[in-house]
Copies of this chain bind each other. A is one copy, B any other.
């Protein structure tokens, strides 16, 4: 046992994780408690920015995608659902807040915590670890601790001696607006058990969240109020006092309070089970996961689950790197999240209850982001979860009225967020990497998804070979992404022996060429009649036919045919010049002013790492005559954009994609073209990394002589033998073995031979 192994055993991997990273600025992460891919993300919310006030959109809502901003001085309460680093806000379901003294049912204003139930807090009184969060609520001298199981949020509130209150605010929501809550209901089943639900119309178009709450102390007295002004009917319904100790409450804006006797000094433990199906489902979840188990026991369980999940990759590096790596790995293991009850029931996108049978249904698929590296990562470190996620996608397509795979799957809803039909990439990557999936059903769903005529210009795309600008303001970026997606279908059809389909999609995969403007070598939007958009501005992110990006960055999105892309851009020299410019040019300040997903921290020269379309771009040098520049760029990105600081993330974590980029890149390779079996080499950031594989195998990566200066890969050895290709294959990893990088302060290999370069579609065509 070497020193390193010894050290690893001495310290838990969870110790390296800092859930606060990304909570300051625009990381949109949350610091609260969850278990890997659990349905529960129980976390403090510091502000409740409504989506709009009197119809006026509140821009600040974007900062509060995860409900928590580190700079805020007060906490509103603890709600049970949060997304990890999304670029759109929602959820924040079922808020609990412990208080003492007179009952307040409104959160109050941020400037003065005395105006409501919210409380001030100090970061010095705050702890966040995987599966555990605690804070002291200063206004009430209450210590609040949170942990979670997959489907149960677990609270422990230590009140001062005397009476303690528990507020349940069923109106609280992230991305709230007047009327977001369509209906809510709360039943006091007995003095230690509540059930209920609420249905919201938020980003998730209609999201019913059912709950069951068990309490470790009996309720002494309780009350509820329906505060909605539009609930005109309530007065008629209520023939006797239903605001005090009446066990059945409902309405559009329901707030309830419960009082407990805390003179014995014992804390109140509250277990909140959620279900997307029914309160009966929530009860089953409560029983299956938390009944009879103490906070401490469940906290230890959560810790154990995280330790187990994080040990999928054991790495060595300096403390900052360890923190970066394990915090990144932690962030990749939050979304997608479980959306199935313990009994297998789940709510489908047809809003019917389905029985999953042999798989676990997942939701929160931010596919435009996560097809790139997050799902490829799962295919290495957790093929079983990947299998279930792919099954979830296929079930979605069966239940969808459009019969398509999800675009952005969110609590049994299709959010239609961003572009493309990237679920096909997940299926293709899964099939390539031997994840068990019904291939026939997969291909059928891929075909439906890529032929839905009314979705984002597909009808015209099929006719013209590109989406025309007059049909869609994001036409050029859509065309690029459709072409890649079509490549994954081509690839899958080939694998499954569907030659005719393969032929069709092989052609469609080359459609990206239709939007490359020979005048400047960049992608450009076109009109239906073939004309190029006039006076294109390759820097501007608005009105140029690209979504959340500019031509300067987006043009590189041809991951499946870099060789063809290089040709479109004028050949090797021009291509390198273009990439160099991208990474060194200064972007005009105006370029991203319309795109809230991109912040200054996420920009390197003109390269935008803070948003996804360019994530693979630093790896594209590997196809050129100057491959070592990949290592240079990646090191710059490591140093600037992944820092062990609370504001260390350069942009939204985007459900783990930003973090998955780091996890791969830090190990020295990246899945530039998911669906292929190749991982393109970059340059490692870690001295050592060991991937745990199925059947007890491991894949061990070492980076010899790695240092601040030694950022270049000089030579590579696979299983002890010199390795000359620009990429690893999936099988190379899954076989187990060792990968040895020898690092140097100067560039190594001058260029790869054609046969050593990674995959390009052009090779299949020519």
Contact = CB atoms under 8 A, between A and B. Distances in A.
A309 interface: no
B199 A183 contact: yes
A237 B51 CA distance: 13
A7 interface: no
Given A201-B233, A206-B250, A239-B416, A183 B185 contact: no
Contacts of A205: 233, 237, 250
Interface string A392-408: 00000000011000000
A401 B212 CA distance: 14
A353 interface: yes
A201 B325 CA distance: 51
A279 B280 CA distance: 19
Given A240-B456, A246-B454, A454-B240, A232 B51 contact: yes
A179 B279 contact: no
Contact of A279 (B51, B185, B350): B350
Contact of A401 (B178, B188, B206): B188
A182 interface: yes
B232 A177 contact: yes
Contacts of A252: 182, 201
B248 A401 contact: yes
Nearest to A50: B232
A351 B246 contact: no
A189 B401 contact: yes
Contacts of A52: 232
A278 B351 CA distance: 8
B279 A202 contact: no
Given A183-B206, A232-B177, A237-B205, A352 B279 contact: yes
In the complex this chain forms, how many copies of it are found? 2
A187 B350 contact: yes
A639 interface: no
A4 interface: no
Contacts of A241: 454
Interface in A168-205: 177-180, 182-183, 185, 187-189, 195, 197, 199, 201-203, 205
A188 B403 CA distance: 12
A352 B280 CA distance: 6
A568 B456 CA distance: 81
Contacts of A472: 240
A754 to B, nearest CB: 42
Nearest to A238: B416
Nearest to A454: B246
A313 B52 CA distance: 63
A205 B232 CA distance: 12
A245 interface: yes
A55 interface: yes
A618 to B, nearest CB: 31
Contacts of A55: 232
A549 to B, nearest CB: 17
Given A183-B199, A247-B402, A350-B187, A237 B416 contact: yes
Contacts of A351: 185, 197, 278-279
Contacts of A590: none
Contacts of A231: 201
Contact of A230 (B51, B178, B239, B401): B178
B245 A454 contact: yes
Q: Is the interface of A mostly helix, strand, loop or mixed?
A: loop
A280 B353 CA distance: 9
Interface residues of A, number: 53
Contacts of A182: 182-183, 199, 252
A206 B187 CA distance: 14
A206 B198 CA distance: 12
A297 interface: no
Interface string A450-464: 000011100000000
Contacts of A280: 350, 352-353
A590 to B, nearest CB: 25
Q: Which of A185, A187, A252, A352 has the most CB of B within 10 A?
A: A352
Contacts of A237: 205, 415-416
Contacts of A456: 239-240
A351 B212 CA distance: 13
Contacts of A246: 454
A353 B432 CA distance: 42
A241 B454 CA distance: 8
Contacts of A206: 183, 185, 250
Contacts of A247: 401-402
A250 B188 CA distance: 32
A129 B244 CA distance: 50
B187 A401 contact: yes
A420 to B, nearest CB: 13
Contacts of A178: 230
Nearest to A188: B401
A416 B182 CA distance: 23
A696 to B, nearest CB: 44
A232 B252 CA distance: 16
A254 to B, nearest CB: 12
Given A185-B351, A247-B401, A233 B51 contact: yes
A433 B65 CA distance: 63
A327 to B, nearest CB: 32
A52 B236 CA distance: 12
Contact of A353 (B232, B278, B415): B278
B240 A202 contact: no
A244 to B, nearest CB: 9
A602 B637 CA distance: 86
B183 A232 contact: no
B250 A179 contact: no
Interface string A198-226: 01011101100000000000000000000
Between A197, A205, A455, the greatest number of chain B beta carbons within 10 A of the residue's beta carbon is seen for A205
Interface of A: 51-52, 55, 177-180, 182-183, 185, 187-189, 195, 197, 199, 201-203, 205-206, 230-233, 236-241, 245-248, 250, 252, 278-280, 350-353, 401-402, 414-416, 454-456, 472
Given A187-B350, A205-B233, A353-B353, 18 more contacts: A51-B232, A177-B232, A177-B233, A180-B233, A182-B182, A182-B252, A201-B231, A201-B252, A202-B233, A203-B233, A205-B237, A205-B250, A239-B456, A240-B416, A245-B454, A248-B402, A279-B350, A279-B352
8 A-B pairs with least C-beta separation? A280-B352, A187-B401, A182-B182, A247-B401, A179-B230, A278-B352, A182-B183, A248-B401
9 contacts: A183-B201, A183-B206, A185-B351, A206-B250, A230-B230, A237-B415, A239-B456, A240-B472, A280-B352
